Structures are given as structure tokens and as C-alpha cells.
Amino acid sequence: MQVLVFGETGQVATALKRLAPGYAFLSRAEADLTNPSACANAILARAPDAVINAAAWTNVDAAEADEPAATVVNADAPAAMARACAALGIPFVTISTDYVFDGSGDTPWAPDAPTAPLNAYGRSKLAGETAVRAAGGQAAILRTSWVFSADGTNFVKTMLRLSESRDALSIVADQIGGPTPAAAIANAAIRIVQALHGGHPGGTWHIAGHPFVSWADFARRIFDLAGRSVTVTPIPSADYPTPAPRPLNSRLDCASLLSDFGLAQPDWMAALRADVKRLTQ
């Protein structure tokens, strides 16, 4: 099966390269998501067996400052990809986010739970989901949260960098979610695209690491594994204001991913141990 992947250097795309080196990966120079028509044309010209969109605008605060630009990348481009895939009659898988929810309560969000994003990034991703479904093809939306790996830019690498010069940090403790290894997302995307290629109609699924944890406790685990002596002071989100508000409850209900594809929630602690070892040796 010839699979075309949008994205080449991001965390999930990098993991896909390791797990599925036979896939074809498109760099930004080959398919810039700020030009949706070019993305569609790239699919139509190559006529693959399936497409995975692992590229996105992921800078949450920057999206708050330029929502129209974020919407082109996170909504218009996936919509153009989905329409091209529908025209070819091939499966399309795209990655979305827990930020489509408002973060209320403490119950994990099911795939069919009501959406109500708090920020521009979440709105742009939700618009992308809506447009992909409207394209009418065989599509899958895979929502995830708190992605980390030894590659790219993420919380783990930021904490390790800060620990080189700081022995105390104040970190938000009232946002709760599931840190998710990029490799687990990549593996799920591969499994889903195979299922769609085999005739599965598509849908929306969640993947997030287990157990759920706060950012403060996640940081403590990072420092413990790295052998760094850093005192973590837990603070509320109100004490760490950001341009884009963040949801407090980022827990995702991943039961349907297990029942439909046999994929259990990944153990983020095991993945973190391997990533920290790679980053600190």
C-alpha cells in the first residue's frame, strides 16, 4: 500500500518515518499547508492508496494572534486533502486535538462529546474536522493530547532544557491530561489507515497516554528520570496567564480505539523513560 504523508519533521511524522519507512513523506517545500490547493494537487498527482495528514499549525499562542492563518493550515488544507482523497476514492487520516473541547468537568471526553473550543487553535482544528467530514470520503479523525517524543519541540524537551540552569520551577497543576508518545499516535494512524484501506468506513477516535496527570506531576517525573534536582511548585493556571486559554480537563476517552482496533492507551511513563534516556545520554 502506497501511503502519502503530509509532514516530514514533526513529532508524529518523524515517528511514522521510523515505523513505516516505505511511506512517502512530503516536506513543506513540496506541499505547503498555507496553500490548500497545492496540497490537493499533490495528492491528485501522486494518486496514492491512502493519505495521512501529520502536519499542522501547532503553536497555540501564535494561533491566538493570527487565527485566519491558523485556520488555513488546520482547516482549509485538511479540507482540500479530504476532498482530493474523496475524489480518488482513497482513505484519509488526519490528526486533531483535545483542544476542541472546553475542558470542563473531570470526565474523559468521548469522541462524540459536544465540542466547544476555548481558543483559536481549537477552533481552527474543529473547523478542520467539520470540513473533513463534509468532504464525504472515507476519513478518520484521530484526536490526541500533550504529544511528546525525543524529537521536535515539546514539554519534555523544554523541562530538560530549563533544568540545566534552574533548580526550582512553578508549573501548572490544575490542567489534567494524558501525555501521549508520538510513536503511539503514529502506530494508531498506521493501524487506522490499514483498516480504512480494508473497507472500514472511518470515524473519530481518541488516543492519549495513561495514567492521567497534571503538568506539574509530569514535570516531576521528567526530572526524576533525568536525575535532575528541581523543586516543582504547583500553581493554578490563573498564575501562569497565556495568550490562549487552555482547557483544564484534557482527559480523553480512548475506549473505542481499543474496541475497534485493539489499541490500548499507551503507557506514557515507559515511553518517557526511553525518551529521557535518549535525550540525556
DSSP 47-67: --SEEEE------HHHHHH-H
Are 245 and 175 in contact by the 8 Å Cβ rule? The answer is no
- Say what the pLDDT of residue 281 is: 84
- Say what the pLDDT of residue 76 is: 98
Q: In whole angstroms, what is the distance from residue 123 CA to residue 76 CA?
A: 12
Let me know if 121 is a catalytic residue: yes
- Say what the pLDDT of residue 29 is: 86
Q: How far is CA 236 from CA 98, 178, 248, 249, 251, in A?
A: 20, 18, 10, 13, 18
Are 94 and 43 in contact by the 8 Å Cβ rule? The answer is no
- Say what the pLDDT of residue 28 is: 86
Structure-block grid coordinates of residue 132: 473533513
- Say what the pLDDT of residue 248 is: 98
**Residues in CB range of 202: below 8 A, 6 or more apart:** 91, 137, 138, 139, 140, 196
Are 29 and 49 in contact by the 8 Å Cβ rule? The answer is no
Low-confidence ranges of the chain (pLDDT < 70): none
- pTM for the model stands at 0.95
Given 23, 99, 121, 240, the catalytic residue: 121
